[in-house]
Amino acid sequence: MALGPFYVAQKLSRGEGMRGIVLLMRHGETAWNREGRVMGQSPVELNERGRAQVEAAAPFARLIGPEIIVTSPLLRARQSAEIIARALGGIEVVDEPGLEEVRYGRWQGMVYEDLLADAEYKRYRDHPLTMPTPGGETIGQVQERGVNAIRRALEANPGKRVLFVSHGDIIRTVLCHFMSLELQHFRRIRIDNATFSAVQVAGDFAELKFLNLLPDPERAFVSPFARPKKN
């Protein structure tokens, strides 16, 4: 038998520090997701496909049994959280601004092709840990506010299983923190719309339970912003 599980069991049994089950869900698809358009703080709602994605994820949400939902207050995340809450019998949904999408400033509304021609974006793309967005955030600051939001929720709900509904880059950076992965590699973690990831936290240790779980796995193999081929 592998010895790894013995180490994990010992770590998870310790009583000191932050503890809890962290469930992470990205919001469902929006029209701007389909277009490859930067949403940032824009109040973009779920499209029909996005609502269907979240509805399809609801049966799994019932299986993992979150007791409270903490969500980014941005419209697409809040709508996703409310769909899941109804599927769980109307559990409480709490807004947490620390889970909001990266503040992209003037990049909001731009499409991917436009960004590739933007010199400031190119510098950010290559140096996200030190180069802030036009909205004033480095990816390290994004990670810090996301982790702090999770810490506050766990401390306010001791012993509860908490579902956090947020955005792609927030979830990626939070997972890097709990997995002790270098933040520079955050873009290597795939987080699709309406997917679940989970981490059990015990002090300075965390175990990844599952990552980017979705009801239609083939979606994970489609490149982001893929366009239908023209005849």
> Letter for the amino acid at 130?
T
pLDDT tier at 159, thresholds 50, 70, 90? confident
What secondary structure letter does DSSP report for 224?
Answer: T
Stated pTM of the model: 0.94
Domains and their CATH numbers in the chain: 16-215 (3.40.50.1240)
CA distance linking residue 200 with residue 95, whole number of Å: 22
**Section 39-60 average pLDDT:** 97
Strand order of the β-sheet with 196-202 is 93-95, 68-71, 161-166, 19-26, 196-202, 205-213
DSSP assignment string, 12-61: HT--SS-EEEEEEEEPPPBHHHHHTB--TT--PPB-HHHHHHHHHHHHHH
Length of the chain: 231
Q: Cα separation of 73 and 71, whole Å?
A: 6
pLDDT of residue 217: 84
Average pLDDT over all residues of the chain: 93
**What confidence category does residue 8 fall into, taking pLDDT thresholds of 50, 70 and 90?**
confident
Q: Which residue has the higher pLDDT, 1 or 221?
A: 221
pLDDT digits (tens, 9 = 90+) for 201-229: 998 899 999 999 998 888 888 887 665 55
